[in-house]
A = this chain, B = another copy of it.
């Protein structure tokens, strides 16, 4: 039923979502940590900036990304000079856009967990001789592990579901930038309902499995807290 293009879209989507989640899980913790603890005057402003992809319609966000990725503009131009390739319509471009787009979904749960973290434990960590980095990795990280899992899952799920942005800057090039969400949209657009249903159902089943697994793991942990 599914075409070869559909399969390549599925693979591409998971590659993109996986890489995006990886990058987000690397850059978000320090950012969220900083946002949770800093007293810098501009902090609320930066916080708002991170949250922005939530407010802008994805197509509009995509439109502005498309413009800034254009070789005529600074970022796109710089990229072209460095790599000899355009940023838009490339996998790298999609990756950058996905990271920006899904950033708030990863930063928010982490930040919220960090804010709720009892400062008492950080003090203990300091008396154990841990500096900030060690405290983060040896104490904070394991303490808020459930939030990390939630954050990663949200980031992954949201990247899989990403549509407006990738439509704009991806160019829907089969095998290169044609993602599952776009393939699905194409099927809907061209009224190929059967394929659309099939893909939707697959996506649904996959996400459900992923989420049920994650929430199942968390449930165990959570239950421990409830029981204790």
Residues of A within 8 A of B (CB): 36-37, 39, 43-45, 47-49, 51-52, 54-60, 63-64, 105, 108-109, 112-113, 115-116, 119, 146-147, 150, 153-154, 157-158, 160-164, 181, 184-185, 188, 196, 200, 203-204, 207-208, 211-212, 215-216, 219, 222-223, 225-226, 228
Contact = CB atoms under 8 A, between A and B. Distances in A.
Most buried by B among A37, A56, A200: A56
A193 to B, nearest CB: 9
How many identical subunits does the complex contain?
A: 2
B154 A215 contact: no
Contacts of A43: 215, 219
Contacts of A105: 54
B116 A207 contact: no
B47 A211 contact: yes
Given A54-B158, A60-B196, A225-B119, A150 B211 contact: no
Contacts of A58: 58, 161, 163-164
Q: Nearest 9 A-B pairs (CB), nearest first?
A: A48-B211, A57-B181, A57-B163, A44-B215, A55-B207, A55-B157, A47-B215, A54-B157, A44-B212
Contact of A52 (B57, B204, B228): B204
